Amino acid sequence: MVSGFVTLIIFIIALGGMIFVHELGHFLAARWAGIEVEEFGFGLPSYKIATLFTWKGTEFTIHALPLGGFVRPKGENDPNVPGGLASASPWKRLVVLFAGPIMNLLTAVIVFALLIAMEGVPVPGSVKINSVTENSPAMIAGIERGDILLAINGERITEVNEAIDIIRANLDKPVELLIERDGEEITITATPLSSRRREEGALGVGLGYPTRAATMGEIAGGGVAITALQAATIVYLPIALIQGAIAPEEARFVGFKGIFDMFDVAVEEDVSSRQDISG
């Protein structure tokens, strides 16, 4: 269980990072377009704590609210200020405007690509024991991390959900698990216990899929594909609302608290998925 304080810290870092990257895109685009930037602030514009340094006419500052950052271009609303944003040509202003979200998209591509590179590509058709909880029925029975689960009670297992369903249907009953370990098949008997907490799991194992190293094409292509899918989902939301595919109450605007609540749920679900998912 993740505490509210830890979730809040993760939320601040994640949201702050997204805002910072977004503003960095505006800053880099403005410098490229020859638009002067008076200030690049670390944190939301509030009380300025200190000026770190000045580079090419831009003050780099720290503000009291440590969440993301902001850019203050010269002549933002005054077209009479030379070298300012408002006096720049329309196409340059568009470049600066779109540089923020484009930077967020590029960051998403990199993050997803790194995740694929670290986690590898799932190999379908078999289920792997990713973790074994201390003093659990699985550990007592001799199940080890890295074992491949081939069958339960003689029923072939190719999907994680299949294993979960069989285990939950046999609580407090001995089950026979056909395991592959170091190229050899062995049979282990274990008893999933209904008395164990849900987050512990009835057997005390974390299930997943075997993975292989991803190729460079899969890493790059996967990063782009996942980012494109997420972006398309966001773009589709208003269309789905108009078509009635999404209820109006589900598509309502949310404030900072609502965003945090959704983030909290996502963190809890992610933690749960990494724990024992066998019930």
Domain count, the chain: 2
What is the residue-level pLDDT of the chain in tens, covering all 279 positions?
A: 455 677 777 777 888 888 899 999 999 999 999 999 999 999 888 889 999 999 988 999 999 887 788 999 999 888 889 989 999 999 999 999 999 999 999 999 999 999 999 989 888 888 999 889 888 999 999 999 999 999 999 999 999 999 999 999 999 999 999 999 998 999 999 999 988 887 778 898 989 888 899 999 999 999 999 999 988 888 887 787 777 776 665 555 555 555 555 555 555 545 444 444 444
CA distances, 275 to each of 16, 201, 211, 224 (Å): 28, 8, 18, 28
Q: What is the CATH number of the domain that holds 186?
A: 2.30.42.10
157 and 95 in one domain? no
Q: At which of 165, 191, 212 does a domain end? A: 212
79 and 11 in one domain? yes
Q: Considering the domain boundaries, does residue 269 fall inside one?
A: no
Domain that holds residue 192: 122-212
Q: Considering the domain boundaries, does residue 258 fall inside one?
A: no
Q: At which of 196, 212, 228 does a domain end? A: 212
pLDDT at position 235, please?
Answer: 82
112 and 11 in one domain? yes
191 and 129 in one domain? yes
95 and 8 in one domain? yes
115 and 9 in one domain? yes
Beta pairing partners, 128: 148, 208
Tell me the whole-structure pTM to 2 decimals.
0.69
Q: Considering the domain boundaries, does residue 65 fall inside one?
A: yes
135 and 55 in one domain? no
pLDDT at position 277, please?
Answer: 46
Q: At which of 119, 148, 181 does a domain end? A: 119
Q: Considering the domain boundaries, does residue 95 fall inside one?
A: yes
Q: Considering the domain boundaries, does residue 260 fall inside one?
A: no
pLDDT at position 276, please?
Answer: 42
58 and 16 in one domain? yes
Q: Considering the domain boundaries, does residue 100 fall inside one?
A: yes
Q: Considering the domain boundaries, does residue 96 fall inside one?
A: yes
- Per DSSP, the residues of the chain read ---HHHHHHHHHHHHHHHHHHHHHHHHHHHHHTT--EEEEEEEEEEEEEEEEEEETTEEEEEEEEEEEEEEEETTSS-TTSTTSSTTS-HHHHHHHHHHHHHHHHHHHHHHHHHHHHHH-EE-TT-EEEEEE-TT-HHHHHT--TT-EEEEETTEE--SHHHHHHHHHTTTTS-EEEEEEETTEEEEEEE---TTS-TTT-SS-EEEE--EEPPPHHHHHHHHHHHHHHHHHHHHHHHHHHHHTSS-GGGG----HHHHHHHHHHHHHHHHHHHS----
What are the residues whose beta carbons fall under 8 Å from the beta carbon of 8, sequence distance 6 or more? 260
Residue 90: what are its φ and ψ, rounded to 5°? -55, -40
pLDDT at position 201, please?
Answer: 83
111 and 182 in one domain? no
**Catalytic residue ranges:** 23
Q: Considering the domain boundaries, does residue 56 fall inside one?
A: yes
- Retrieve residue 259's tokens: 């965003």
